A and B are shown apart, each in its own frame.
Chain A
């Protein structure tokens, strides 16, 4: 097949791009998530923080990626094709998405579980770690999956600004008007996205044994 040949001929580049795509999507996912946790927690704990936070993050999320890829170099004083632009941009999107998810997930924890924990003598920190976060895992995991898949896909747009990753297959294909690189790119991006999705799903399942049991009833 053409696609396979293309891959063989450009193997080292393609693998290099695949690897780049993975960490360009993955690092923002992790960093964005870690930043979203405290902010989301505050937004769930203190009611008045929630609306402005959600609005602000919502606004951030509406900014098209290409626009952000172009604005950031000026702000960060980096070169246009510096991957850092992509990492920062995607971290912003991940953060914007997950803050709301974390806040909603924590709010969805049954009040009874929360107040029982307090009544039994959990300190707020113990309650958060021992009760609220574990129960929030399913919803947070769902949000993480959306963020992960979305990140993988967004990275490819950065080919327009010259960052080396799988999106280069698309631009190459456009420039030469040939299908093979495009199809290869589509295939690899989709596989990468599904891989992220599966990993998060499996980890979430492992962390929530009580859910499996409830469904088995």
Chain B
């Protein structure tokens, strides 16, 4: 019914403290979503940053990795999620969310790795070769060059890749409610199945949608602040300006940075 698809009761829903507390309350749901997201991002960072540093520093494997990252983008995360859930959950016999959480986390990690990986190695490669040369000339070993020179200089891109990844993860974690997980997506999915209910139906779904959008925005802003404060002053704004003939490749920071994909 169209009439039930109105925003009228959303505020009522949001103002009702009962909706905020308890295991089904907003606070709990936000906690769950953040929890799912953090696990995935942390694992992805642990895998992708070192790998990206190595690839960027040695220059080997760039083409392969770039190609793979590109190809992975074509895989629908929703489909992958369902596939892994169907594949894995029957094999896990434990209580709680684990049967569904595990495949979900796998998908989230797979989703988060490409942006962090590509931005890390791009960040390392963007380091002015003269700077790298000077570092080696001063007697730094390979790993020292990585730690003291390349990583700090690559930081802006690394952070922006992580930011991308986090947003994608938050978005996909919303959809994970479809496969019986918690998180704010719960309101959306549940609301859809009882649209006409004036309390738990569309108004709840909309409230959930607004809240998850806010969550994403807050996460984005947190990263923005982090970027401003964590990046050493001399480095911020030190993107190599796009040279003429190299315009398409070096602005891979552009569309790549914006691999923010809701899913």
Residues of A in contact with B (beta carbons under 8 Å apart): 58-59, 61-68, 70-71, 73-74, 77-80, 93, 97, 100-101, 104-105, 108-110, 112, 135, 138-139, 142-143, 145-146, 149-150, 152-154, 156-157, 159-161, 167, 169-171, 173-174, 177-179, 182-183, 185-186, 189-190, 193-194, 197, 211, 214
A178→B175 contact, CB < 8 A: no
A interface secondary structure, majority: helix
A74→B262 contact, CB < 8 A: no
A174→B86 contact, CB < 8 A: yes
Partner of B188, one of A70, A74, A97: A70
- Most B CB contacts (10 A, CB to CB) among A61, A105, A143, A179 go to A61
Chain B interface size band reads 35 or more
Q: Taking the complex as formed, is B248 at the interface, i.e. its CB lies under 8 A from any CB of chain A?
A: yes
B247→A157 contact, CB < 8 A: no
Q: Enumerate 26 A-B pairs (CB-CB under 8 Å) in ascending A order.
A: A64-B174, A64-B175, A64-B213, A68-B209, A68-B262, A74-B5, A77-B5, A93-B262, A104-B251, A138-B247, A139-B255, A143-B254, A143-B255, A146-B73, A146-B255, A146-B259, A150-B73, A153-B74, A153-B77, A154-B263, A160-B188, A170-B76, A173-B86, A182-B79, A186-B83, A193-B76
B188→A156 contact, CB < 8 A: no
Q: Which residues of B contact A74 (CB under 8 A)?
A: 5-7, 202, 206
Q: Which residues of A contact B83 (CB under 8 A)?
A: 170, 173, 179, 182-183, 186
Partner of A139, one of B80, B220, B254, B258: B254
Q: Which residues of A contact B79 (CB under 8 A)?
A: 156, 167, 169-170, 182, 185-186, 189
Q: Which residues of A contact B172 (CB under 8 A)?
A: 64
User: Which positions 155-194 of chain B face chain A at CB distance < 8 Å?
Assistant: 167, 170-172, 174-175, 178-179, 185, 188-189, 191-192
Q: Which residues of A contact B43 (CB under 8 A)?
A: none
A104→B178 contact, CB < 8 A: no
B254→A61 contact, CB < 8 A: no
In the complex, what distance in Å separates the CA atom of A159 from the CA atom of B76?
12
| CB proximity of B138 to chain A, nearest CB, Å | 34
| CB proximity of A112 to chain B, nearest CB, Å | 8
B262→A65 contact, CB < 8 A: yes
**Nearest chain A residue, comparing its CB with the CB of B84:** A182
- Most B CB contacts (10 A, CB to CB) among A61, A157, A194 go to A157
A135→B179 contact, CB < 8 A: no
**Nearest chain A residue, comparing its CB with the CB of B178:** A160
User: Which positions 186-221 of chain B face chain A at CB distance < 8 Å?
Assistant: 188-189, 191-192, 195, 202, 205-206, 208-210, 212-213, 216-217, 219-220
In the complex, what distance in Å separates the CA atom of A119 from the CA atom of B57?
43
In the complex, what distance in Å separates the CA atom of A112 from the CA atom of B244?
10
User: Which positions 69-113 of chain B face chain A at CB distance < 8 Å?
Assistant: 73-80, 82-83, 85-87, 90
Q: Which residues of A contact B216 (CB under 8 A)?
A: 62-64
Q: Which residues of A contact B206 (CB under 8 A)?
A: 70-71, 74
B254→A142 contact, CB < 8 A: yes
B220→A59 contact, CB < 8 A: yes
In the complex, what distance in Å separates the CA atom of A179 from the CA atom of B88?
11
A108→B189 contact, CB < 8 A: no
A71→B210 contact, CB < 8 A: yes
Known contacts A153-B73, A160-B188; 11 further A-B pairs (Cβ under 8 A): A62-B262, A64-B212, A67-B213, A142-B255, A143-B258, A153-B78, A160-B178, A160-B192, A170-B78, A179-B83, A189-B74
